């Protein structure tokens, strides 16, 4: 729950994909069967972009946004589709990712910005995403099922089933990531390569982006892979293809732009990793400093803080607790929920939960293939009403009942100063005072992340790599 306004991605998208037509592909020049007109394409993209702005939100840093917008526009206005309403934004998500909506709405995460080391890399990524738009991949792949999937995890309670929980838990933005085919990825790589090269960038730097993503994937180990890795072809293969393309180039790359110092100056001070202001876990407790509440989940459950929902799942993956914001007053929200068709409620009553006005009750509901049962609580706190649902297949309810009761009863004001004041970690750029290894740099300028991750974000293969004097190095610091 990272953003206050709740808006799920509209199913209006579905309506578009049934409209059919035929158009000339702007990149290949060939006539092809397409599902939507350019006007509809722009409308779809605008809607997708709006939902990203609402749910994830842009990083609040005008200088950084202006920089990315300017670089992206330079490429876009010289592309095959200069007249689209192109826009480029950095979104507030720590997962390394970039994606394009039809019509030219392109997003890159602050997680990916933090991994990259120069402007040429950034331009390569923007070029790749522009390529998806100019080649109309994002239109072509919008089949009904993929569009439907976008709504996963952000819809209303009774549609998400337990199976969907595991998908929703796989990673916030991957829900929004539209995956293209392998051929489309290759074509976008080729187009991005050409756009960047035509604008005087050193396209060799593209290799670093994939190497960094690969390295990040290795470090992530058991945790979910950055979605750029899971939804794009193997980075090793792409590095190879870029190298082949480079070897075939008939021009020299001498004098082409890398733009390391400019790039690092723009990301200096940006938030690194999960932003605790938007909620963080402390063992099995969830604290949300900006909204000033806390909630305790059952011990040993798997927890996720996504854009519009905080989720926890039992180790056996048969029970879910989800916390969302809801519209209206406590009575209105509870009334609407408990009076839903197909839902039976019991023990519904007004009460205080840790001094907060609330309505709590039990429910059973029939979903498409399962009978679910659980607890629901609607709690007023600050300017919001929170909806807390805990549910499981009815035959498992007795096993989870007391955990559900305890969890829904644990919602409370966050009052500890230390938690309320918790600040995010930030990237800080420092010049190496002399030639030194990353290990000795880290001894002199300590970071709050471990040295392996520090090597990763500096695109160094390990802690013992030597850094020449005067090199700008990223470190990660926490405000006191």
Binding site for Zn ion (CB under 5 A): 185, 188
- Whose Cβ is closer to Zn ion: residue 188's or residue 267's? 188
Work out how close the CB of 231 gets to Zn ion at its nearest, in angstroms, rounded to a whole number: 8
Determine the longest span between alpha carbons in the chain, in angstroms.
76
What's the helix, strand, coil split of the chain in %, to 5?
40, 25, 35
Coil, helix or strand at residue 85: coil
In our burial notation (b when 16+ CB lie closer than 10 A, e otherwise), range 315-344 reads eeeebbbbbbbbeeebeebbeebbeeeebe
- Answer whether 89's CB lies under 8 Å from 107's CB: yes
Work out how close the CB of 209 gets to Zn ion at its nearest, in angstroms, rounded to a whole number: 12
Sheet holding 87-91, edge to edge: 87-91, 105-109, 98-101
- Whose Cβ is closer to Zn ion: residue 233's or residue 374's? 233
Residue 204 Cα distances to 75, 87, 126, 209, 478, angstroms: 17, 25, 15, 10, 34
Work out how close the CB of 106 gets to Zn ion at its nearest, in angstroms, rounded to a whole number: 11
- Whose Cβ is closer to Zn ion: residue 122's or residue 157's? 122
Work out how close the CB of 254 gets to Zn ion at its nearest, in angstroms, rounded to a whole number: 29
Residue 428 Cα distances to 30, 96, 191, 314, 468, angstroms: 48, 18, 33, 38, 18
- Answer whether 353's CB lies under 8 Å from 376's CB: no
Q: How far apart are the first and last CA of the chain?
A: 25
Read off φ and ψ for residue 332, nearest 5 degrees: -65, -45
Work out how close the CB of 91 gets to Zn ion at its nearest, in angstroms, rounded to a whole number: 16
Identify the CA nearest to 210 among candidates 228, 235, 234, 232.
235
The residue with tokens 């009978």 is 371
- Whose Cβ is closer to Zn ion: residue 160's or residue 192's? 192
- Whose Cβ is closer to Zn ion: residue 96's or residue 313's? 96
Work out how close the CB of 268 gets to Zn ion at its nearest, in angstroms, rounded to a whole number: 28
Q: CB neighbours (10 Å) of residue 39?
A: 9
Work out how close the CB of 341 gets to Zn ion at its nearest, in angstroms, rounded to a whole number: 42
- Whose Cβ is closer to Zn ion: residue 188's or residue 191's? 188
- Whose Cβ is closer to Zn ion: residue 119's or residue 185's? 185
Work out how close the CB of 451 gets to Zn ion at its nearest, in angstroms, rounded to a whole number: 31
**Cα–Cα dist 269/427, whole Å:** 5
Residue 212 Cα distances to 24, 455, 473, angstroms: 37, 10, 16
Work out how close the CB of 128 gets to Zn ion at its nearest, in angstroms, rounded to a whole number: 6
Q: What is the DSSP string of 185-228?
A: HHHHHHHHHHHHHHTTB-GGGHHHHHHHHHHHHHHHTTSPPPHH
- Whose Cβ is closer to Zn ion: residue 131's or residue 153's? 131
- Whose Cβ is closer to Zn ion: residue 132's or residue 426's? 132
Measured in whole angstroms, how far is the alpha carbon of residue 339 from the centre of its chain? 34
- Whose Cβ is closer to Zn ion: residue 91's or residue 188's? 188
Work out how close the CB of 409 gets to Zn ion at its nearest, in angstroms, rounded to a whole number: 45
Work out how close the CB of 98 gets to Zn ion at its nearest, in angstroms, rounded to a whole number: 8
- Answer whether 56's CB lies under 8 Å from 5's CB: no
Number of H helices, E strands in the chain: 18, 21
- Whose Cβ is closer to Zn ion: residue 125's or residue 436's? 125
The residue with tokens 């009815």 is 394
């Amino acid at each position: 729950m990272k953003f206050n306004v709740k808006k799920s991605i509209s199913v209006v998208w579905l309506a578009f994909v049934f409209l059919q037509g035929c158009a000339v592909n702007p990149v290949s020049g060939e006539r092809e069967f397409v599902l939507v007109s350019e006007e509809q394409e722009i409308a779809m993209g605008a809607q997708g972009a709006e939902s990203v702005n609402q749910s994830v939100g842009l990083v609040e840093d005008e200088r950084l946004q202006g920089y990315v917008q300017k670089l992206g526009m330079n490429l876009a206005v010289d592309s095959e589709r200069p007249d689209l309403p192109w826009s480029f934004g950095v979104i507030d998500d720590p997962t390394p990712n970039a994606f394009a909506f039809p019509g030219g709405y392109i997003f890159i995460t602050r997680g990916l910005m933090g991994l990259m080391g120069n402007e040429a890399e950034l331009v390569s990524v923007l070029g790749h995403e522009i390529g998806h738009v100019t080649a109309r991949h994002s239109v072509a792949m919008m089949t009904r099922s993929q569009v439907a999937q976008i709504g996963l995890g952000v819809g209303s309670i009774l549609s998400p089933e337990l199976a969907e929980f595991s998908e929703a838990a796989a990673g916030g933005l991957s829900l929004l990531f539209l995956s293209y085919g392998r051929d489309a990825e290759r074509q976008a790589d080729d187009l991005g390569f050409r756009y960047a090269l035509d604008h005087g960038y050193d396209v060799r730097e593209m290799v670093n982006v994939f190497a960094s993503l690969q390295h990040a994937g290795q470090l992530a180990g058991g945790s979910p892979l950055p979605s750029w890795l899971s939804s794009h072809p193997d980075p090793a293969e792409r590095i190879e293809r870029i190298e082949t393309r480079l070897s075939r180039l008939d021009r020299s790359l001498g004098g082409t732009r890398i733009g390391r110092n400019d790039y690092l100056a723009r990301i200096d001070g940006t938030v690194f990793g999960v932003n605790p202001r938007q909620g963080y876990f402390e063992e099995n407790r969830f604290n949300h400093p900006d909204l000033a509440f806390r909630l305790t989940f059952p011990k040993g459950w798997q927890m996720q803080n996504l854009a519009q929902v905080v989720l926890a799942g039992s180790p056996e993956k048969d029970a879910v607790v989800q916390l969302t914001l809801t519209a209206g007053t406590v009575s209105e929200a509870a009334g609407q929920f408990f009076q839903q068709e197909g839902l039976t409620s019991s023990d519904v009553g007004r009460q205080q939960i840790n001094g907060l006005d609330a309505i709590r009750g039990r429910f059973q509901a029939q979903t498409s293939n399962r009978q679910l049962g659980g607890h629901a609580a609607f709690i007023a706190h600050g300017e919001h009403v929170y909806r807390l649902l805990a549910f499981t297949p009815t035959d498992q309810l007795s096993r989870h009942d007391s955990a559900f009761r305890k969890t829904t009863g644990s919602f409370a004001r966050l009052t500890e100063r230390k938690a309320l004041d918790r600040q995010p970690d930030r990237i800080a750029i420092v010049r190496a005072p002399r030639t030194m290894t990353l290990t000795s740099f880290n001894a002199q300028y300590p970071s709050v992340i471990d040295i392996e991750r520090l090597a990763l974000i500096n695109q160094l293969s390990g802690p013992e790599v030597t850094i020449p004097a005067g090199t700008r190095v990223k470190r990660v610091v926490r405000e006191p």
